[in-house]
Structure 1
Protein backbone atom coordinates (compact mmCIF):
# COMPACT_ATOMS: atom_id res chain seq x y z
CA UNK A 1 0.00 0.00 0.00
CA UNK A 2 2.69 2.64 0.84
CA UNK A 3 4.50 2.07 -2.48
CA UNK A 4 1.29 2.38 -4.47
CA UNK A 5 0.46 5.61 -2.67
CA UNK A 6 3.70 7.16 -3.88
CA UNK A 7 3.05 6.46 -7.55
CA UNK A 8 1.52 9.25 -9.65
CA UNK A 9 -2.09 8.80 -10.77
CA UNK A 10 -2.80 7.79 -14.34
CA UNK A 11 -5.82 6.83 -16.34
CA UNK A 12 -3.93 3.76 -17.54
CA UNK A 13 -1.99 1.22 -15.54
CA UNK A 14 1.59 2.24 -14.86
CA UNK A 15 4.18 -0.08 -16.35
CA UNK A 16 7.07 -0.49 -13.91
CA UNK A 17 10.34 -1.41 -15.61
CA UNK A 18 12.37 -4.36 -14.29
CA UNK A 19 15.17 -1.91 -13.49
CA UNK A 20 12.79 0.08 -11.30
CA UNK A 21 11.85 -3.06 -9.39
CA UNK A 22 15.52 -3.97 -9.01
CA UNK A 23 16.35 -0.51 -7.66
CA UNK A 24 13.58 -0.66 -5.07
CA UNK A 25 14.51 -4.18 -3.99
CA UNK A 26 18.12 -3.04 -3.79
CA UNK A 27 17.09 -0.09 -1.63
CA UNK A 28 15.27 -2.45 0.73
CA UNK A 29 18.32 -4.74 0.85
CA UNK A 30 20.63 -1.82 1.62
CA UNK A 31 18.25 -0.61 4.31
CA UNK A 32 18.29 -4.10 5.81
CA UNK A 33 21.98 -3.70 6.69
CA UNK A 34 21.63 -2.70 10.33
CA UNK A 35 24.44 -0.53 11.63
CA UNK A 36 23.93 -1.49 15.27
CA UNK A 37 23.84 -5.22 14.54
CA UNK A 38 26.77 -5.27 12.12
CA UNK A 39 28.95 -3.08 14.34
CA UNK A 40 27.74 -4.98 17.38
CA UNK A 41 29.15 -8.19 15.95
CA UNK A 42 32.61 -6.63 16.01
CA UNK A 43 32.36 -6.40 19.79
CA UNK A 44 30.40 -9.63 20.21
CA UNK A 45 27.07 -8.12 21.26
CA UNK A 46 23.53 -8.09 19.91
CA UNK A 47 21.87 -4.96 21.25
CA UNK A 48 18.47 -6.52 20.59
CA UNK A 49 19.24 -8.59 23.69
CA UNK A 50 20.07 -5.51 25.77
CA UNK A 51 18.22 -2.44 27.00
CA UNK A 52 14.97 -1.85 25.16
CA UNK A 53 15.75 -4.60 22.65
CA UNK A 54 15.61 -2.18 19.74
CA UNK A 55 18.34 -2.20 17.10
CA UNK A 56 18.55 1.58 16.85
CA UNK A 57 20.75 4.49 17.81
CA UNK A 58 19.04 5.30 21.12
CA UNK A 59 19.38 1.79 22.49
CA UNK A 60 22.92 1.66 21.11
CA UNK A 61 23.76 4.78 23.13
CA UNK A 62 22.17 3.50 26.31
CA UNK A 63 23.82 0.09 26.15
CA UNK A 64 27.12 0.67 24.30
CA UNK A 65 28.01 4.32 24.77
CA UNK A 66 28.32 7.47 22.71
CA UNK A 67 31.03 6.45 20.23
CA UNK A 68 29.26 3.25 19.26
CA UNK A 69 25.93 5.08 18.92
CA UNK A 70 27.46 7.77 16.71
CA UNK A 71 28.93 5.11 14.43
CA UNK A 72 25.52 3.42 14.23
CA UNK A 73 23.73 6.67 13.38
CA UNK A 74 26.27 7.60 10.70
CA UNK A 75 25.98 4.12 9.18
CA UNK A 76 22.17 4.20 9.15
CA UNK A 77 21.98 7.72 7.73
CA UNK A 78 24.52 6.77 5.09
CA UNK A 79 22.65 3.71 3.91
CA UNK A 80 19.45 5.73 3.52
CA UNK A 81 21.30 8.33 1.48
CA UNK A 82 23.05 5.67 -0.63
CA UNK A 83 19.87 3.76 -1.46
CA UNK A 84 18.14 7.00 -2.46
CA UNK A 85 21.05 8.27 -4.54
CA UNK A 86 21.38 4.99 -6.43
CA UNK A 87 17.67 5.06 -7.31
CA UNK A 88 17.90 8.62 -8.61
CA UNK A 89 21.14 7.93 -10.48
CA UNK A 90 20.03 4.77 -12.27
CA UNK A 91 16.27 5.27 -12.59
CA UNK A 92 15.14 4.72 -16.19
CA UNK A 93 14.43 8.05 -17.87
CA UNK A 94 11.20 8.30 -19.82
CA UNK A 95 9.60 5.49 -17.86
CA UNK A 96 6.00 5.74 -16.62
CA UNK A 97 7.43 6.15 -13.11
CA UNK A 98 9.25 9.52 -12.82
CA UNK A 99 12.84 9.66 -11.62
CA UNK A 100 11.86 11.62 -8.51
CA UNK A 101 9.28 9.00 -7.62
CA UNK A 102 12.03 6.37 -7.82
CA UNK A 103 13.96 8.37 -5.24
CA UNK A 104 11.09 8.69 -2.79
CA UNK A 105 10.12 5.04 -3.20
CA UNK A 106 13.71 3.94 -2.66
CA UNK A 107 14.07 6.10 0.46
CA UNK A 108 10.89 4.57 1.88
CA UNK A 109 12.03 1.07 0.91
CA UNK A 110 15.31 1.63 2.74
CA UNK A 111 13.43 2.66 5.88
CA UNK A 112 11.26 -0.45 5.60
CA UNK A 113 14.44 -2.48 5.31
CA UNK A 114 15.81 -0.92 8.47
CA UNK A 115 12.62 -1.64 10.39
CA UNK A 116 12.15 -5.15 9.01
CA UNK A 117 15.63 -6.24 7.82
CA UNK A 118 15.76 -9.37 5.73
CA UNK A 119 19.35 -10.02 6.84
CA UNK A 120 18.55 -9.89 10.55
CA UNK A 121 15.36 -11.89 11.01
CA UNK A 122 13.08 -8.90 10.29
CA UNK A 123 13.91 -7.40 13.70
CA UNK A 124 15.42 -3.96 13.21
CA UNK A 125 15.24 -0.39 14.45
CA UNK A 126 12.64 2.32 14.15
CA UNK A 127 13.82 3.92 10.93
CA UNK A 128 14.46 7.55 11.88
CA UNK A 129 18.16 7.75 10.98
CA UNK A 130 17.65 5.96 7.67
CA UNK A 131 14.80 8.34 6.88
CA UNK A 132 17.11 11.28 7.57
CA UNK A 133 19.53 9.90 5.00
CA UNK A 134 16.85 9.74 2.35
CA UNK A 135 15.56 13.22 3.16
CA UNK A 136 19.12 14.59 2.98
CA UNK A 137 19.30 13.52 -0.67
CA UNK A 138 15.73 14.26 -1.75
CA UNK A 139 14.70 17.21 0.39
CA UNK A 140 17.74 18.74 2.13
CA UNK A 141 16.00 22.03 2.94
CA UNK A 142 13.65 20.12 5.26
CA UNK A 143 16.48 18.87 7.47
CA UNK A 144 17.07 22.07 9.49
CA UNK A 145 13.37 22.23 10.39
CA UNK A 146 13.28 18.56 11.38
CA UNK A 147 16.44 18.85 13.47
CA UNK A 148 15.19 22.03 15.16
CA UNK A 149 11.85 20.40 16.02
CA UNK A 150 13.61 17.28 17.30
CA UNK A 151 16.06 19.24 19.44
CA UNK A 152 13.38 21.53 20.85
CA UNK A 153 11.13 18.68 21.97
CA UNK A 154 14.08 16.73 23.38
CA UNK A 155 15.34 19.73 25.37
CA UNK A 156 11.88 20.55 26.72
CA UNK A 157 10.76 17.00 27.50
CA UNK A 158 13.78 14.70 27.55
CA UNK A 159 11.86 12.12 25.51
CA UNK A 160 13.78 10.96 22.43
CA UNK A 161 10.86 8.98 21.03
CA UNK A 162 8.46 11.91 21.31
CA UNK A 163 11.02 14.23 19.71
CA UNK A 164 11.42 11.83 16.79
CA UNK A 165 7.67 11.50 16.27
CA UNK A 166 7.12 15.27 16.33
CA UNK A 167 9.97 15.80 13.87
CA UNK A 168 8.52 13.19 11.52
CA UNK A 169 5.08 14.78 11.70
CA UNK A 170 6.67 18.00 10.45
CA UNK A 171 7.24 16.33 7.07
CA UNK A 172 3.60 16.41 5.89
CA UNK A 173 3.27 19.97 7.18
CA UNK A 174 6.35 21.07 5.23
CA UNK A 175 5.08 19.31 2.11
CA UNK A 176 1.73 21.08 2.43
CA UNK A 177 3.24 24.50 3.15
CA UNK A 178 5.67 24.11 0.27
CA UNK A 179 2.96 23.04 -2.16
CA UNK A 180 5.01 19.93 -2.94
CA UNK A 181 4.29 17.58 -5.81
CA UNK A 182 2.44 14.32 -5.33
CA UNK A 183 5.53 12.07 -4.85
CA UNK A 184 6.86 14.26 -2.04
CA UNK A 185 3.46 14.66 -0.41
CA UNK A 186 2.84 10.91 -0.40
CA UNK A 187 6.34 10.22 0.83
CA UNK A 188 5.95 12.72 3.68
CA UNK A 189 2.65 11.22 4.81
CA UNK A 190 3.83 7.61 4.49
CA UNK A 191 7.14 8.29 6.25
CA UNK A 192 5.47 10.15 9.12
CA UNK A 193 2.90 7.38 9.54
CA UNK A 194 5.62 4.73 9.61
CA UNK A 195 7.65 6.60 12.24
CA UNK A 196 4.55 7.00 14.41
CA UNK A 197 3.89 3.26 14.00
CA UNK A 198 7.43 2.22 14.92
CA UNK A 199 7.29 4.48 17.99
CA UNK A 200 3.88 3.26 19.11
CA UNK A 201 5.47 1.60 22.15
CA UNK A 202 7.10 4.89 23.17
CA UNK A 203 3.78 6.70 22.81
CA UNK A 204 2.00 4.04 24.87
CA UNK A 205 4.59 4.37 27.63
CA UNK A 206 4.23 8.15 27.52
CA UNK A 207 0.50 7.81 28.14
CA UNK A 208 1.20 5.38 30.96
CA UNK A 209 3.90 7.62 32.46
CA UNK A 210 6.57 4.91 32.20
CA UNK A 211 8.65 6.21 29.28
CA UNK A 212 12.30 6.74 30.20
CA UNK A 213 13.90 10.14 29.75
CA UNK A 214 17.30 11.42 28.79
CA UNK A 215 17.44 13.60 31.87
CA UNK A 216 20.66 15.28 30.76
CA UNK A 217 18.91 16.64 27.66
CA UNK A 218 16.31 18.58 29.64
CA UNK A 219 18.33 21.77 29.65
CA UNK A 220 15.40 24.06 30.44
CA UNK A 221 14.38 21.90 33.39
CA UNK A 222 17.95 21.87 34.71
CA UNK A 223 18.22 25.66 34.30
CA UNK A 224 15.03 26.24 36.29
CA UNK A 225 16.25 24.01 39.12
CA UNK A 226 19.63 25.73 39.32
Structure 2
Protein backbone atom coordinates (compact mmCIF):
# COMPACT_ATOMS: atom_id res chain seq x y z
CA UNK A 1 0.00 0.00 0.00
CA UNK A 2 2.99 2.30 0.53
CA UNK A 3 3.80 2.02 -3.18
CA UNK A 4 0.23 2.88 -4.13
CA UNK A 5 0.07 5.86 -1.77
CA UNK A 6 3.39 7.29 -2.93
CA UNK A 7 2.64 6.90 -6.63
CA UNK A 8 -0.89 8.26 -6.21
CA UNK A 9 0.60 11.33 -4.51
CA UNK A 10 3.25 11.80 -7.21
CA UNK A 11 0.61 11.59 -9.95
CA UNK A 12 -1.60 14.06 -8.09
CA UNK A 13 1.28 16.53 -7.78
CA UNK A 14 2.08 16.18 -11.48
CA UNK A 15 -1.58 16.72 -12.32
CA UNK A 16 -1.51 19.86 -10.19
CA UNK A 17 0.77 21.53 -12.74
CA UNK A 18 -1.71 23.51 -14.86
CA UNK A 19 -0.80 23.83 -18.51
CA UNK A 20 -2.53 27.19 -18.84
CA UNK A 21 -0.52 28.75 -16.02
CA UNK A 22 2.77 27.25 -17.19
CA UNK A 23 2.19 28.64 -20.69
CA UNK A 24 0.86 31.85 -19.18
CA UNK A 25 4.20 32.45 -17.48
CA UNK A 26 5.83 32.35 -20.92
CA UNK A 27 3.29 34.91 -22.11
CA UNK A 28 4.16 37.55 -19.54
CA UNK A 29 2.40 36.09 -16.53
CA UNK A 30 -1.08 35.64 -18.02
CA UNK A 31 -3.50 33.86 -15.67
CA UNK A 32 -6.53 32.85 -17.72
CA UNK A 33 -8.43 32.12 -14.51
CA UNK A 34 -8.82 35.90 -14.33
CA UNK A 35 -10.17 36.07 -17.89
CA UNK A 36 -13.16 34.82 -19.84
CA UNK A 37 -14.99 32.03 -18.05
CA UNK A 38 -12.35 31.92 -15.32
CA UNK A 39 -11.52 28.29 -16.11
CA UNK A 40 -7.93 27.07 -16.44
CA UNK A 41 -8.59 24.71 -19.34
CA UNK A 42 -8.07 24.65 -23.08
CA UNK A 43 -11.42 26.12 -24.12
CA UNK A 44 -10.96 29.29 -22.09
CA UNK A 45 -7.34 29.45 -23.28
CA UNK A 46 -8.55 29.37 -26.89
CA UNK A 47 -11.19 32.03 -26.36
CA UNK A 48 -8.96 34.42 -24.45
CA UNK A 49 -5.43 33.79 -25.81
CA UNK A 50 -5.80 32.18 -29.22
CA UNK A 51 -4.93 28.92 -30.95
CA UNK A 52 -1.20 28.62 -30.26
CA UNK A 53 -1.57 29.29 -26.54
CA UNK A 54 -4.49 26.84 -26.32
CA UNK A 55 -2.61 24.15 -28.26
CA UNK A 56 0.28 24.19 -25.80
CA UNK A 57 -2.15 24.12 -22.87
CA UNK A 58 -3.89 21.06 -24.30
CA UNK A 59 -0.58 19.30 -25.02
CA UNK A 60 0.52 19.77 -21.41
CA UNK A 61 -2.84 18.81 -19.93
CA UNK A 62 -3.17 15.68 -22.08
CA UNK A 63 0.47 14.82 -21.42
CA UNK A 64 0.12 14.87 -17.66
CA UNK A 65 -2.67 12.32 -18.01
CA UNK A 66 -0.46 10.12 -20.17
CA UNK A 67 2.90 10.36 -18.38
CA UNK A 68 2.05 8.95 -14.93
CA UNK A 69 0.04 6.09 -16.41
CA UNK A 70 2.97 5.04 -18.59
CA UNK A 71 5.82 5.64 -16.15
CA UNK A 72 4.71 5.17 -12.55
CA UNK A 73 3.28 1.61 -12.51
CA UNK A 74 6.65 0.04 -13.33
CA UNK A 75 8.97 2.44 -11.48
CA UNK A 76 10.82 0.77 -8.62
CA UNK A 77 11.03 3.57 -6.06
CA UNK A 78 14.10 3.20 -3.79
CA UNK A 79 13.06 2.22 -0.29
CA UNK A 80 9.53 1.35 -1.42
CA UNK A 81 9.91 -1.28 -4.13
CA UNK A 82 7.23 -3.05 -6.13
CA UNK A 83 4.28 -4.42 -4.15
CA UNK A 84 3.57 -7.95 -5.48
CA UNK A 85 0.02 -7.78 -4.16
CA UNK A 86 -0.87 -4.84 -6.41
CA UNK A 87 -1.45 -5.33 -10.12
CA UNK A 88 0.26 -2.88 -12.44
CA UNK A 89 -3.11 -2.35 -14.12
CA UNK A 90 -4.68 -1.19 -10.86
CA UNK A 91 -1.82 1.22 -10.18
CA UNK A 92 -2.12 2.62 -13.71
CA UNK A 93 -5.81 3.32 -13.14
CA UNK A 94 -5.16 4.83 -9.70
CA UNK A 95 -2.40 7.19 -10.83
CA UNK A 96 -4.42 8.21 -13.88
CA UNK A 97 -7.33 9.24 -11.68
CA UNK A 98 -4.91 10.96 -9.29
CA UNK A 99 -3.51 13.07 -12.14
CA UNK A 100 -7.05 14.06 -13.08
CA UNK A 101 -7.83 15.05 -9.48
CA UNK A 102 -4.66 17.12 -9.45
CA UNK A 103 -5.77 18.98 -12.56
CA UNK A 104 -9.20 19.75 -11.12
CA UNK A 105 -7.97 20.52 -7.60
CA UNK A 106 -4.31 21.59 -8.01
CA UNK A 107 -2.27 21.90 -4.83
CA UNK A 108 0.02 24.49 -6.40
CA UNK A 109 -2.79 26.86 -7.40
CA UNK A 110 -5.14 27.05 -4.40
CA UNK A 111 -7.13 24.03 -5.66
CA UNK A 112 -8.56 26.10 -8.54
CA UNK A 113 -7.95 24.05 -11.65
CA UNK A 114 -9.54 23.08 -14.93
CA UNK A 115 -12.49 20.86 -15.70
CA UNK A 116 -10.44 17.84 -16.64
CA UNK A 117 -11.45 17.04 -20.21
CA UNK A 118 -7.98 16.99 -21.78
CA UNK A 119 -6.34 15.15 -18.88
CA UNK A 120 -9.16 12.60 -18.80
CA UNK A 121 -8.68 11.99 -22.52
CA UNK A 122 -4.97 11.38 -21.95
CA UNK A 123 -5.65 8.90 -19.16
CA UNK A 124 -8.35 6.96 -21.00
CA UNK A 125 -6.49 6.69 -24.28
CA UNK A 126 -3.43 5.19 -22.54
CA UNK A 127 -5.14 2.76 -20.16
CA UNK A 128 -7.48 1.67 -22.97
CA UNK A 129 -6.23 2.66 -26.45
CA UNK A 130 -9.31 1.08 -28.04
CA UNK A 131 -11.31 3.94 -26.51
CA UNK A 132 -9.50 6.61 -28.53
CA UNK A 133 -11.66 6.33 -31.63
CA UNK A 134 -15.03 6.11 -29.82
CA UNK A 135 -14.13 9.04 -27.55
CA UNK A 136 -13.11 11.20 -30.51
CA UNK A 137 -16.24 10.25 -32.44
CA UNK A 138 -18.53 10.98 -29.47
CA UNK A 139 -16.89 14.37 -28.91
CA UNK A 140 -16.89 15.42 -32.57
CA UNK A 141 -20.49 14.32 -33.11
CA UNK A 142 -21.66 16.25 -30.04
CA UNK A 143 -19.75 19.45 -30.93
CA UNK A 144 -21.07 19.39 -34.50
CA UNK A 145 -24.65 18.80 -33.37
CA UNK A 146 -24.72 21.21 -30.42
CA UNK A 147 -21.69 23.52 -30.48
CA UNK A 148 -21.29 23.07 -26.72
CA UNK A 149 -17.74 22.11 -25.73
CA UNK A 150 -18.72 21.21 -22.17
CA UNK A 151 -21.59 18.99 -23.30
CA UNK A 152 -19.34 17.34 -25.87
CA UNK A 153 -16.80 16.52 -23.17
CA UNK A 154 -19.51 15.03 -20.98
CA UNK A 155 -20.87 12.99 -23.90
CA UNK A 156 -17.36 11.70 -24.67
CA UNK A 157 -16.56 10.44 -21.17
CA UNK A 158 -20.04 9.08 -20.49
CA UNK A 159 -19.90 7.44 -23.91
CA UNK A 160 -16.55 5.87 -23.01
CA UNK A 161 -17.96 4.35 -19.83
CA UNK A 162 -21.05 3.13 -21.69
CA UNK A 163 -18.92 1.65 -24.47
CA UNK A 164 -16.89 -0.35 -21.94
CA UNK A 165 -20.05 -1.44 -20.16
CA UNK A 166 -21.63 -2.69 -23.37
CA UNK A 167 -18.60 -4.33 -24.98
CA UNK A 168 -16.22 -5.49 -22.22
CA UNK A 169 -18.04 -6.33 -19.01
CA UNK A 170 -17.51 -8.31 -16.85
CA UNK A 171 -13.87 -8.74 -17.91
CA UNK A 172 -13.02 -5.03 -17.81
CA UNK A 173 -14.83 -4.18 -14.58
CA UNK A 174 -11.88 -2.19 -13.17
CA UNK A 175 -11.66 -0.13 -16.35
CA UNK A 176 -15.42 0.40 -16.22
CA UNK A 177 -15.15 1.67 -12.63
CA UNK A 178 -12.35 4.06 -13.63
CA UNK A 179 -14.28 5.36 -16.64
CA UNK A 180 -17.41 5.80 -14.51
CA UNK A 181 -15.50 7.73 -11.83
CA UNK A 182 -14.00 9.94 -14.52
CA UNK A 183 -17.43 10.55 -16.04
CA UNK A 184 -18.93 11.48 -12.66
CA UNK A 185 -16.08 13.91 -11.94
CA UNK A 186 -16.33 15.49 -15.40
CA UNK A 187 -20.08 15.96 -15.03
CA UNK A 188 -19.47 17.58 -11.63
CA UNK A 189 -16.82 19.96 -12.95
CA UNK A 190 -19.18 20.99 -15.76
CA UNK A 191 -22.16 21.63 -13.49
CA UNK A 192 -22.08 25.38 -14.19
CA UNK A 193 -22.05 24.67 -17.93
CA UNK A 194 -25.08 22.42 -17.50
CA UNK A 195 -26.95 25.22 -15.73
CA UNK A 196 -26.04 27.72 -18.48
CA UNK A 197 -27.14 25.29 -21.18
CA UNK A 198 -30.45 24.87 -19.39
CA UNK A 199 -30.81 28.66 -19.21
CA UNK A 200 -29.75 29.11 -22.84
CA UNK A 201 -26.74 31.29 -21.96
CA UNK A 202 -23.88 28.86 -22.65
CA UNK A 203 -21.40 29.91 -25.35
CA UNK A 204 -21.21 27.75 -28.46
CA UNK A 205 -18.18 26.88 -30.54
CA UNK A 206 -18.94 26.89 -34.27
CA UNK A 207 -16.53 24.60 -36.10
CA UNK A 208 -17.98 25.40 -39.49
CA UNK A 209 -18.85 29.02 -40.20
CA UNK A 210 -20.59 30.07 -43.36
CA UNK A 211 -19.49 33.13 -45.30
Task: For residue 93 of structure 1, report the CA deviation from its aligned partner.
Answer: 5.1
Q: Is the 8 A contact 1:88 1:99 kept in 2?
A: yes
Q: Give 1:191's match in structure 2, choosing from 173, 179, 182.
A: 182
**1:46 paired to 2:35:** no
**1:137 paired to 2:126:** yes
In 2: Cα distance, 1:195 partner to 1:75 partner: 18
In 2: Cα distance, 1:195 partner to 1:81 partner: 17
Q: Which runs of 5+ in 2 are unaligned?
A: 77-81
In structure 2, the partner of 1:12 is none
Could you list the per-position Cα deviations for residues 17-76 of structure 1 after superposition, in whole angstroms to 9, with x for gaps in the alignment? x12211110000010000001110111210000000000000000000001100000111
In 1: Cα distance, 2:185 partner to 2:132 partner: 18
In 1: Cα distance, 2:152 partner to 2:13 partner: 28
Q: Is the 8 A contact 1:149 1:166 kept in 2?
A: yes
In structure 2, the partner of 1:24 is 8
In 2: Cα distance, 1:213 partner to 1:132 partner: 21
In 2: Cα distance, 1:143 partner to 1:202 partner: 24
Q: Aligned to 1:103, what secondary structure does the other structure show?
A: helix
Q: CA RMSD in A?
A: 1.5
Q: Give 2:72's match in structure 1, choosing from 87, 105, 108.
A: 87
In 2: Cα distance, 1:151 partner to 1:89 partner: 34
TM-score (ref. length: structure 1): 0.86
In structure 2, the partner of 1:203 is 194
In structure 1, the partner of 2:62 is 77
**1:120 paired to 2:96:** no
Q: Is the 8 A contact 1:93 1:99 kept in 2?
A: no
In 1: Cα distance, 2:56 partner to 2:122 partner: 14
In structure 2, the partner of 1:182 is 173
In 1: Cα distance, 2:89 partner to 2:23 partner: 32
In 2: Cα distance, 1:46 partner to 1:192 partner: 27
**1:108 paired to 2:97:** yes
Q: Aligned to 2:180, what secondary structure does the other structure show?
A: helix
TM-score (ref. length: structure 2): 0.92
Runs of 4+ residues over 3 Å off in structure 1: none
Instruction: Count residues with an aligned counterpart.
Output: 203
In 2: Cα distance, 1:173 partner to 1:181 partner: 12
Could you list the per-position Cα deviations for residues 127-152 of structure 1 after superposition, in whole angstroms to 9, with x for gaps in the alignment? 11111111121101101101111011
In 2: Cα distance, 1:201 partner to 1:129 partner: 18
